[in-house]
Amino acid sequence: MNLQGILPFARTLLEAAASDGSAVIDATCGNGNDTLYLSRLVGKRGRVFGFDIQELAIQNTTRRLLEEQAFDNVTLFHAGHHTMKSAIPAEYHGSIKAAIFNLGYLPGGNKEIVTQSDSTIEALEQLYELLAPGGIAVLVIYHGHEQGKKERDAVLEYASQLDQQKAHVLQYGFINQKNNPPFIVAIEKR
């Protein structure tokens, strides 16, 4: 297949916005895969801020970073992504280059604990203030469960109403795959 899959395309978007020395956010740490990727992307001079409401996710991410000998450039918060503005030091406000959200539940975790529409929209509103011009928010939306459908609809409604003078919004996904395949919504600050 010549088309990029969802996760490789998410990384393409992150790489377009962030590089060595950048400050970035993993809004949903999960098992630490994106946190590790971002740590390597921004290098020793960069900074990664990671958020998750589940202690298990913070533990999994910490373990992953240690096992892979990641750079010492990651700060993890056992908190929801809707706390990012107050959690991230003010010196980084307006200079975040990229953020990634994986919306849904922790793979291998409790499927009853899922991201919520209200906190995700609140996080996006805060993130807009934190992003540098040209900064990108990448949302990978897993909508194969009931709350996922609600969150999908809320994110699409929110993103589609953003002023085009302030943000570019992209939707990327495969429309002929079965079982509610994940898709991307990317928001670039102008």
User: How does pLDDT run across 74-126, given as a tens digit for each residue?
Assistant: 999 999 999 999 999 999 999 999 999 999 998 888 889 999 999 999 999 99
pLDDT tens digits, one per residue of 19-45: 999 999 999 999 999 999 999 999 999
**How large is the average pLDDT for residues 123-131?**
98
Cα distance between residue 77 and residue 43, in whole Å: 20
Task: Look at residue 109 in the predicted model and tell me its pLDDT.
Answer: 87
DSSP string of the chain, one letter each residue = --SPPHHHHHHHHHHHH--TT-EEEES--TTSHHHHHHHHHHTTT-EEEEEES-HHHHHHHHHHHHHTT--S-EEEEEB-GGGHHHHS-GGGTT-EEEEEEEESB-TTS-TT-B--HHHHHHHHHHHHHHEEEEEEEEEEE--SSHHHHHHHHHHHHHHHTS-TTTEEEEEE--TT-SS---EEEEEEE-
**In the chain, what percentage of residues exceed pLDDT 90?**
95
pLDDT(1) > 90: no
pLDDT(142) > 90: yes
Cα distance between residue 179 and residue 166, in whole Å: 34
Average pLDDT of the chain, as a whole number: 97
Task: Look at residue 106 in the predicted model and tell me its pLDDT.
Answer: 87
What domains, with CATH codes, occur in the chain? 6-189 (3.40.50.150)
